[in-house]
């Protein structure tokens, strides 16, 4: 066996300010009511972040309204598109810096921020830039109109990517926005605010307020908001659905998931193992569409699990800034406690948890990649979203049983199918109740492809033409 020499990315390529205010009307406010944001891998304090009060929310929504009425709604689609192209290009130019910043504040490996997150962020802006002057072809008739001011609240698992999924279509369609990032991962959103300044985006078109759940709740409740877009937990999604019921606000909710990754006996097993690994250990399993339930055909279960465990022994857990690292830090102490508690419960309910022998760093928040076998569809670890590097394994005998087990969940976000047989893939995909289904691959994202769920995974789509429609009048 060869040993890997350390290959750390340079921390020096990013400078954060020591403290940040909110980004309102094109300017940063004076920092106030601050809390500390840290690197979950080292617990190093990265910056002081402001907590938005109801008054800050008011100012941000007013700035967005003003920019909408006076500037953004008056520009042609082609002019809006130019700004979006400019933002997309600046993101490409600053890609390395943004990747490091995201890795520092989120804890995810640099190879993911470098090769997945940030390239997708710029791709999203390029894609929607192209739509800005083609709204007449969106399928809503000639000259469809924007909603106005969009309130957008996002989670911590893909901070800048979720921002791009929200802001790019909103601006292309002609809305202005106020966005609140998650409390633990505000830094790339604040760097994005600087990018808006660099791009010369008119003041108030994008506003970023930071803070906790209450700031998000205040933003969504604001009277002058026309459209709400939320990505986060099903629990908070439910609260928001209640909050906006009976108002004129349009809503899209992208919530949790508990995806089945189904492996049939004719699947190419080594390829499936890579797909299972990618499905659940990508981004430490902090992925709404993670393949967190492995459904494996009984006749190949032993062989597949043997291969999977062997592959898991090779995963490198540790410094997220090291280019060799596969598994980075858990985003927060709160999330680590949640994962630990759920796995303990899984074992208490009769499951057997297995993890490779890997060294856990002393500082920061870490969880070894884990497989739980011997569980039934009624067990908590099979039903609840763990949102960590934990895979629950079930077996099946027939395709019908696989479909029944896969659909036996309150969620309906994604699924994976592994089989050599195209007709089987199409038939099973047709029967699965999930918004996105991957065949012989997993966790593939593309700005042209709509993403979103059924049932408790939420409603509305992001990405593609569908994602654009959510920001235009006339879609519902
Ligand atoms: P969360 O607690 O629901 O938080 C999401 C965002 O909402 C954060 O910015 C949060 O602020 C804010 N928030 C909290 N309470 C709020 C309230 N009452 N009103 C308005 N905003 C509120 O979720 P999370 O733990 O950060 O993220 C993990 C969850 O997101 C998982 O369930 C995952 O499946 C889901 N997710 C879904 C998708 C998808 O596209 N379907 C994508 C990514 C993640 P704080 O950060 O201050 O709490
Ligand atoms: Mg939260």
Distance 35 CA to ligand 1 centre (A): 19
For residue range 391-417, list pLDDT tens digits in order. 999 999 999 999 999 999 999 999 999
Going from the Cα of 63 to the center of ligand 2, the distance in angstroms, rounded, reads 26
pLDDT of residue 474: 81
How far does the centroid of ligand 2 lie from the alpha carbon of residue 182, in Å?
A: 7
* pLDDT score, position 198: 98
> Which CATH number is 9-254+453-471 given?
3.40.605.10
Task: Name the residue ranges covered by the structural domains of the chain.
Answer: 9-254+453-471, 258-437
CB distance 294 to 417 below 8 Å: no
* Residue whose C-alpha is closest to residue 160's, from 245, 71, 227, 91: 91
Q: So what's the pLDDT on residue 32?
A: 98
In testing the pocket of ligand 1, which one of 179, 213, 240 has its CB within 8 Å of the most ligand atoms?
213
Q: What span, in angstroms and rounded, lies between the C-alpha atoms of 264 and 262?
A: 7
Is the CB of 216 inside a 6 Å radius of any atom of ligand 1?
yes
323 vs 342: CA distance, rounded Å? 30
Cβ contacts of 357 within 8 Å, gap of 6 or more: 313
174 lines ligand 1 (CB under 6 A): no
Q: What are the structure tokens assigned to 370, written together? A: 């884990």
**The predicted structure's pLDDT at residue 327:** 98
Phi, psi of 423 (to 5 degrees): -65, -35
pLDDT under 50 in the chain at which residues? 476
**235-to-15, 244, 245, 254, 458 alpha-carbon distances in Å:** 35, 15, 16, 12, 11
CATH class of 258-437: alpha beta
Active-site residues: which are they? Answer: 254, 288
Q: What is the pLDDT of residue 475?
A: 59
CA dihedral 420, 424, 430, 434 (to 10 degrees): -40
Which H or E run includes 295?
strand 293-297
**Which residue from 183, 209, 218, 236 has its CB within 8 A of the most atoms of ligand 1, so it is best to mutate?**
236
The finding on whether 217 has its CB within 6 A of some atom of ligand 1 is: yes
């Amino acid at each position: 066996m060869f040993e890997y020499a350390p290959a750390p990315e340079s921390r020096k390529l990013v400078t954060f300010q020591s403290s940040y205010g909110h980004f309102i009307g094109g300017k940063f406010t004076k920092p106030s009511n601050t809390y500390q944001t840290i690197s979950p891998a080292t617990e190093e304090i990265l910056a002081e972040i402001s907590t938005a009060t109801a008054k800050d929310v008011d100012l941000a929504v007013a700035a967005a309204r003003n920019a909408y009425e006076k500037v953004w709604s008056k520009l042609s689609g082609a002019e809006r598109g130019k700004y979006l192209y400019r933002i997309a290009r600046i993101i490409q130019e600053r890609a390395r810096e943004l990747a490091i910043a995201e890795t520092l504040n989120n804890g995810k490996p640099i190879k993911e921020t470098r090769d997945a997150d940030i390239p997708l962020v710029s791709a999203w802006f390029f894609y929607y830039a192209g739509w800005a002057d083609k709204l007449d072809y969106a399928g809503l008739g000639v000259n469809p109109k924007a909603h106005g001011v969009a309130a957008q609240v996002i989670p911590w698992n893909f901070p800048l990517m979720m921002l791009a999924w929200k802001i790019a279509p909103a601006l292309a369609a002609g809305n202005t926005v106020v966005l609140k990032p998650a409390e633990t991962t505000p830094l790339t959103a604040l760097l994005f605010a600087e990018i808006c300044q660099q791009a010369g985006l008119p003041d108030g078109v994008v506003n970023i307020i930071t803070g906790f759940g209450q700031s998000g709740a205040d933003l969504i409740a604001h009277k002058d908001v026309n459209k709400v877009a939320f990505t986060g937990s099903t629990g908070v999604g439910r609260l928001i659905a209640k909050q906006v019921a009976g108002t004129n606000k349009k809503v899209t909710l992208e919530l949790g998931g508990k995806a089945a990754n189904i492996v049939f006996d004719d699947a190419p097993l080594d390829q499936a193992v890579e797909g299972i690994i990618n499905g659940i250990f990508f981004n430490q399993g902090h992925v709404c569409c993670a393949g967190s339930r492995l459904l494996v055909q009984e006749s190949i279960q032993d062989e597949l699990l043997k291969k999977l465990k062997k592959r898991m022994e090779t995963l490198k857990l540790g410094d997220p800034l090291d280019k060799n690292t596969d598994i980075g830090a858990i985003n927060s102490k709160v999330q680590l406690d949640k994962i630990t508690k759920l796995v303990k419960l899984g074992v208490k309910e009769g499951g057997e948890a297995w993890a490779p022998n890997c060294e856990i760093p002393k500082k920061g928040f870490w969880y070894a990649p884990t497989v739980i076998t011997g569980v039934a569809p009624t067990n908590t670890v099979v039903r609840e979203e763990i949102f960590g590097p934990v895979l629950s394994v079930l077996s099946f005998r027939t395709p019908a049983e696989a479909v029944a087990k896969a659909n036996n969940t309150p969620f309906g976000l994604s699924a994976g199918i592994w089989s050599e047989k195209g007709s089987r893939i199409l038939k099973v995909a047709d029967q699965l109740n999930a918004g996105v289904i991957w065949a012989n691959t997993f966790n593939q994202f593309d700005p042209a492809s709509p993403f979103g769920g059924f049932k408790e995974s939420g409603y509305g789509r992001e990405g593609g033409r569908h994602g654009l429609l959510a920001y235009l009048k006339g879609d519902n």
